[in-house]
């Protein structure tokens, strides 16, 4: 009887031990899978990024954002946005040499701020991986591949980094584009960047850039364009389809239409500054049925309109939105767009509702 009792105890213990091992193994597998789900490869490159990045256009800017003013309070808010983004699982940031620069009548260069924030963060958390994407301004007086490398080195100096993860042509040049593309390839070969991309490129220009880089054995990783639920021109002009065909990731700037899809603006409360001339009371009146439905869908997931609008883009696949965060609250909210997914019916319903309002003007060089 004692032997039977002992055997039964040993069996029960063994079973419990097996179940514990299985549970640990299962949890380890889930943790690995969760980590994999958080990251996506950027185009055909080896670079992996979180499915959502943070745009730093507004950091240091006084020509379009921040009501034409910049002070220590706003700089602190940007620093808090940076830290909150990383704490929320968003670990890559998109900037540009012209953001906040004197050339664009800004107060302080966005690259300078981002570099400072990274340096301060690394002192506390030296093992954290933070990815940086920045851009080359195709100004008319810049000619040839050397201009790309020179500008990149200036960006690296402002960022206080030896290299960046992604370097992009901010817009197509009036001339000299083949030289710019060669400059991107040179930057990869010199180890100054891990991946290269373009921005505001049409289908034709996208194919040309892809073909030219391919000859050098370098993938065109991304095309960054204006894309949101209420600005779906990339779906209509062949850019989205071409990205999908060629394996080029589409990075979506202005993914919440510069705040309009957050639901905080109404016909009686239009955006301040230049945005008020784009998103008028008349436009916001037309938009209300869509905004109301976004809110309803969000409530069913316990999500905000902002999170629904961003998730709609992520649900398109091969799309990485980069909303701009000016404070910690916004950054934390953006993090809530990850880890869940709208149904295909909800995606289609929102597109149908959005199609009832006219798209507003995009970045002018999209037409070049």
Q: 320 pairs with which residues across the strands?
A: 251
**167 flagged as catalytic:** no
Under a CB-based contact definition with an 8 Å cutoff, are residues 131 and 91 in contact? yes
- Phi/psi at 68 (5° precision): 65, 20
Q: Which position among 99, 201, 227, 231 bears the catalytic label? A: 99
Q: Helices 144-159 and 110-124 sit at what angle, rounded to 10 degrees?
A: 50
Q: Give the separation between CA 313 and CA 142, rounded to whole angstroms.
A: 34
Looking up tokens 């097996």 gives 18
Q: Give the separation between CA 110 and CA 64, rounded to whole angstroms.
A: 14
Q: CA nearest 309: which of 354, 247, 368, 271?
A: 354
Under a CB-based contact definition with an 8 Å cutoff, are residues 222 and 251 in contact? yes
Q: Give the separation between CA 72 and CA 215, rounded to whole angstroms.
A: 48
Burial class (CB in 10 A: 0-12, 13-18, 19+), 343: exposed
| Angle, CA 45 vertex, CA 235 and CA 91 arms, to 5° | 85
- Phi/psi at 269 (5° precision): -140, 80
End-to-end CA distance of the chain: 89
Residues carrying an active site annotation: 99
């Amino acid at each position: 009887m004692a032997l039977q009792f002992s055997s039964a105890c040993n069996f029960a213990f063994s079973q419990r031990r097996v179940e514990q091992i299985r549970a640990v193994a299962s949890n380890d597998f889930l943790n690995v899978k969760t980590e994999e789900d958080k990251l996506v490869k950027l185009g055909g490159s080896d670079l992996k990024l979180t499915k959502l990045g943070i745009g730093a256009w507004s950091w240091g800017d006084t020509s379009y954002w921040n009501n034409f003013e910049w002070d220590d309070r706003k700089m602190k808010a940007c620093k808090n946005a940076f830290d909150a983004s990383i704490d929320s699982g968003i670990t890559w940031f998109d900037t540009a040499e012209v953001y906040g620069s004197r050339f664009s009548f800004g107060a302080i260069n966005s690259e300078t701020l981002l570099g400072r924030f990274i340096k301060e963060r690394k002192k506390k958390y030296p093992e954290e991986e933070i990815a940086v994407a920045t851009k080359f301004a195709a100004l008319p007086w810049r000619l040839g591949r050397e201009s790309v490398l020179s500008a990149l080195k200036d960006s690296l100096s402002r960022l206080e980094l030896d290299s960046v993860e992604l370097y992009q042509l901010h817009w197509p040049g009036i001339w000299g584009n083949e030289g710019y593309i060669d400059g991107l390839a040179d930057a990869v070969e010199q180890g100054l960047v891990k991946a290269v991309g373009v921005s505001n490129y049409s289908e034709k220009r996208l194919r040309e850039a892809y073909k030219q880089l391919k000859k050098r054995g370098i993938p065109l990783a991304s095309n960054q364009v204006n894309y949101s639920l209420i600005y779906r021109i990339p779906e209509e002009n062949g850019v989205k389809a071409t990205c999908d065909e060629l394996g080029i990731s589409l990075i979506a700037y202005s993914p919440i239409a510069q705040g309009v899809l957050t639901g905080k603006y109404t016909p009686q409360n239009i955006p301040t500054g230049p945005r008020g001339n784009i998103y008028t009371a008349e436009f916001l009146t037309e938009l209300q049925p869509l905004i109301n439905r976004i809110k309803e869908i969000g409530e069913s997931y316990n999500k905000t309109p902002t999170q629904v609008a961003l998730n709609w883009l992520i649900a398109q696949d091969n799309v990485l939105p980069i909303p701009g965060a000016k404070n910690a609250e916004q950054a934390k909210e953006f993090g809530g767009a990850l880890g869940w997914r709208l149904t295909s019916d909800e995606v289609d319903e929102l597109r149908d509702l959005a199609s009832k309002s006219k798209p507003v003007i995009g970045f002018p060089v999209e037409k070049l």
